[in-house]
């Protein structure tokens, strides 16, 4: 999660003209001009005007525009790889696979979801209870969707919100993180070059701009960030009566059982703990390891981690990226120091390296619940190892977390793992892998507790972008029996209907007679 997104501590980030540096070498980056409240309001107004015509396009026409934009992004992928590399420090392979490679795949996947789940639904009505009547439900765009974006995946993090929002006929205004303004702006600018004017826009800034965007009259909001900021966004949206999808962090555990395939488990946990330098809401931050194999697991894991390359070097020869900003570097440093002071064993790493915001891949063994690396989101290249006495111990500890995004189980007994998965209080469980569903649009990405109740991906996320509208058509020419006037005959009819439903035949036999009397009564009343 973006820990400073929209001001996670309730304050704006420093002046953008001061202190923004490249994580690779601390060289200064160009300042970004923050939007004024008036500019935010104007962006929302222009988006609303543009949305009316955009929503009148067919879904197929909107999909064609988004495919064109996605192809342009792929053709220009080296542009965004360089922007992301300089702005967030991603290594080239991660910039390619995590950010640049996926827009067209995302459009194809959302095409299937949107066309399948937003088509008009005809609802069959009981012809006896509702004679002459038919009904259907349309899914209509909300209007203008505000997206408050993260810095850890400043392009790919937008696929889950911006693409389905536009595909369903909304206009979108994006507020990038102040830590990755250029990367997110590039994505918006490529979209804007293809879409009708003002259908998608960007406003730069910190907490005050995020608040102004929510207050600008938008119709829905998608937020990815810290719990502190997410709670404020959720409250602001609730006060204005607009739907919101809020994702507020993760502290994903891996539960390593004694019968796991040790080589695959070490490889998988290494990759999911250190991808993007651990700066992912679905990164593995804790490994609950069965004591029976803990020594062998730690020894093998340490051997691999000590061989990984972190620090400045020739491009393509780095395995672990630097931290993306100074604040995150400070958090990682503090968590490691706290763990060591409270008795954790430093297996490897634990130090900055190079001249930028690089930090060695760090393994901490014998960690306990009072440490920040167990309680709080570290969001860095750090894995805390907790030795446990079997499955029940591991599940209990995992379920005590403040967060509830994902978890993984590593074992050869897949059937048993599925039963264990039912006991984990989180939104996503993966067996013998981790978090890969985050890149699968058909599967919901969601959580519990302080992770928030938002849903990204799948048909379950569409409620943020569309609202149902019911239309009922009545082709009857007569009168409804329950219409006015109210009298004893209508009451008796209701009693007989109730008796008929519970098969009280000694009383329900009156139903045909009462129906005929009611028909005559209504006709006489309205003929007068």
| Neighbour tally for 369: CB within 10 Å | 10
Burial bucket for residue 22 (CB in 10 Å: 0-12, 13-18, 19+): middle
H or E segment and range at residue 140: strand 133-141
The confidence score (pLDDT) of residue 2 equals: 39
C-alpha–C-alpha distance, residues 361 and 383, integer Å: 8
- Cα separation, 245 vs 253, in Å, equals 24
Q: Cis bond leading into 264, ω under 30°?
A: no
Residues 6+ apart with CB under 8 A from 232: 6, 10, 211
Cα(183)–Cα(204) distance, rounded to whole angstroms?
12
- Mind listing the domains of the chain with CATH numbers? 37-248+459-469 (3.40.605.10), 252-451 (3.40.309.10), 478-527 (no CATH)
Calculate mean pLDDT across residues 80-90.
97
Distance of CA 403 to the CA centre of its chain: 14
**Over the stretch 356-370, which tens digit does the pLDDT of each residue have?**
999 999 999 999 999
Which residues have C-beta within 8 Å of that of residue 383, sequence separation ≥ 6?
269, 273, 284, 285, 286, 287, 301, 362, 363, 364
b/e burial code for range 385-412 (CB count within 10 A of at least 16 → b): bbbbeebebbbebbbebebbbbbbbbbe
The mean pLDDT value for 97-124 works out to 97
Task: Give residue-wise pLDDT tens across range 43-56.
Answer: 999 999 999 999 99
Best CA proximity match to 379, nearest among 308, 226, 277:
277
Average pLDDT, the chain: 94
Residue with tokens 């111990």: 393
Which of helix, strand or coil describes residue 383?
strand
Average of per-residue pLDDT across 471-495? 94
435 closest CA partner among 289, 313, 222, 269: 269
Tokens 């082709």, residue located: 475
**Which position has the token pair 């379920």?**
399
Query: Quick one: which H or E segment has residue 428?
Result: strand 428-431
Pair 303, 401: CB distance under 8 Å:
no
Pairing relation of β-strands 252-256 and 284-290?
Answer: parallel
- Report pLDDT for 448: 96
Place of tokens 């059982």: 257
Would you state the pLDDT for residue 17? 36
Mean per-residue pLDDT, 119-139: 95
> Any idea what the Cα angle at residue 272 is, between residues 268 and 273, rounded to 5°?
115
Average pLDDT over residues 406-425: 98
Can you tell me the mean pLDDT for 275-294? 98
Strands 144-148, 133-141: pairing is: unpaired
pLDDT in tens, 389-412: 999 999 999 999 999 999 999 999
Residue 314 CB partners (closer than 8 Å, separation 6+): none
pLDDT tens-digit map of 210-224: 999 999 999 999 999
User: Which candidate, 131, 178, 237, 173, places its Cα nearest to that of 2?
Assistant: 178
Could you tell me the two tokens for 445?
Answer: 């990405």
Residues paired with residue 467 on neighbouring β-strands, in sequence order: 140
The dihedral of CA 229, 232, 237, 238: what is its sign? positive
CA-angle at 458, arms to 175 and 455, nearest 5°: 50
The model's pLDDT over 144-199, given as tens digits with 9 standing for 90+, comes to 999 999 999 999 999 999 999 999 999 999 999 999 999 999 999 999 999 999 99
Cα-based angle 278, 284, 286 (whole degrees, multiple of 5)? 115
Q: What percent of the chain is predicted at pLDDT more than 90? A: 91
pLDDT for 313 equals 63
pLDDT in tens, 239-272: 999 999 999 999 999 999 999 999 999 999 999 9
Catalytic site residues? Answer: 247, 281
Write out the E strands in 176-332.
Answer: 200-202, 220-224, 244-247, 252-256, 284-290
Q: Name the token pair of 88.
A: 């967030």
Nearest to 386 by CA among 397, 378, 396, 377: 397
Residue 109: pLDDT above 90?
yes
Spatial distance between the Cα atoms of 6 and 13, rounded to a whole number of angstroms: 8
pLDDT band at 19 (very low <50, low <70, confident <90, very high): low
d(CA 86, CA 302): 30
Contact 332, 380 (CB under 8 A): yes
Distance CA 205, CA 175 (A): 7
- What is the average per-residue pLDDT within 116-122? 97
CB 281 within 8 A of CB 156: no
Is the pLDDT reported for residue 1 higher than 50? no
- Cβ(2)–Cβ(207) below 8 Å: no
Please tell me the distance from the alpha carbon of residue 348 to that of residue 360, in angstroms, as a whole number: 8
Kindly report which listed range (11-20, 354-363, 485-494, 500-509) carries the lowest average pLDDT score.
11-20
Q: What is the 3-state secondary structure (H, E, C) of 71-137?
A: HHHHHCHHHHHHHHHHHHCCCHHHHHHHHHCCHHHHHHHHHHHHHHHCCCEEECCCCCCCCCEEEEE
Residue 408: partners with Cβ closer than 8 Å, 6 or more residues away? 252, 253, 254, 255, 268, 272, 284, 429, 430, 431, 432, 433, 434, 435
Phi-psi region of 358 (alpha: psi -120 to 50; beta: other; left: phi over 0): beta
Q: Is the pLDDT of residue 66 over 50?
A: yes
pTM, to two decimals:
0.93
């Amino acid at each position: 999660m973006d820990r400073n997104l929209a001001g996670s501590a309730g304050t704006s980030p420093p002046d953008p003209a001061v202190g923004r540096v490249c994580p690779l070498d601390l060289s200064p980056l160009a300042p970004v001009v923050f939007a004024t409240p008036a500019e935010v309001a104007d962006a929302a107004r222009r988006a609303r005007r543009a949305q009316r015509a955009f929503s009148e396009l067919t879904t197929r026409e909107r999909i064609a525009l988004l495919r064109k934009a996605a192809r342009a992004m792929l053709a220009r992928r080296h542009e965004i790889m360089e922007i992301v590399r300089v702005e967030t420090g991603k290594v080239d392979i991660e910039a390619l696979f995590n950010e640049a490679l996926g827009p067209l795949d995302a459009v194809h996947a959302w095409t299937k979801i949107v066309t399948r789940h937003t088509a008009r639904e005809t609802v069959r009505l009981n012809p006896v209870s509702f004679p002459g009547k038919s009904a259907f439900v349309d899914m209509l765009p909300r209007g203008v969707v505000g997206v408050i974006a993260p810095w850890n995946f400043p392009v790919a993090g937008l696929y889950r919100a911006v693409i389905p929002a536009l595909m369903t006929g909304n206009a979108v205004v994006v507020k990038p993180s102040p830590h990755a303004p250029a990367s997110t702006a590039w994505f918006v600018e490529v979209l804007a070059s293809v879409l009708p004017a003002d259908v998608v826009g960007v406003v730069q800034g910190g907490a005050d701009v995020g608040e102004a965007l929510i207050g600008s009259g938008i119709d829905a909001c998608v937020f990815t960030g810290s719990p502190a900021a997410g709670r404020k966004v959720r409250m602001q949206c609730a006060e204005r009566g607009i739907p919101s999808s809020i994702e507020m962090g993760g502290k994903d555990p891996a539960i390593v059982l004694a019968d796991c395939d040790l080589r695959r488990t070490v490889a998988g946990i290494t990759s999911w703990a250190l991808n993007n330098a651990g700066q992912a809401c679905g990164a593995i931050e804790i490994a609950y390891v069965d004591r029976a194999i803990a020594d062998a697991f730690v020894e093998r894991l340490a051997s691999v981690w000590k061989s990984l390359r972190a620090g400045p070097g020739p491009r393509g020869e780095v395995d672990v990226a630097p931290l993306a900003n100074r604040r995150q570097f400070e958090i990682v440093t503090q968590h490691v120091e706290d763990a060591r002071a409270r008795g954790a064993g430093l297996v490897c790493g634990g130090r900055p390296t190079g001249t930028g915001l690089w930090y060695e891949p760090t393994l901490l063994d014998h960690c306990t619940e009072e440490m920040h690396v167990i309680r709080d989101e570290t969001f860095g290249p750090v894995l805390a190892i907790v030795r446990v006495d079997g499955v029940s111990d591991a599940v209990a500890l995992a379920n005590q977390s403040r967060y509830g995004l994902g978890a993984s189980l590593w074992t050869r007994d897949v059937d048993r793992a599925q039963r264990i998965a039912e006991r984990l209080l989180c939104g996503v469980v993966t067996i013998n892998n981790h978090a890969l569903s985050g890149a699968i649009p058909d599967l919901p990405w969601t959580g519990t507790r302080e992770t928030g109740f938002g849903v990204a991906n799948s048909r379950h996320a569409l409620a943020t972008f569309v609202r149902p509208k019911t239309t009922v058509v009545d082709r009857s020419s007569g009168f409804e029996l329950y219409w006015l006037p109210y009298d004893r005959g209508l009451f008796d009819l209701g009693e007989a209907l109730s008796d008929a439903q519970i098969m009280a035949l000694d009383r329900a036999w009156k139903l045909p007679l009462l129906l005929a009397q009611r028909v005559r009564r209504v006709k006489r009343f309205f003929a007068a």
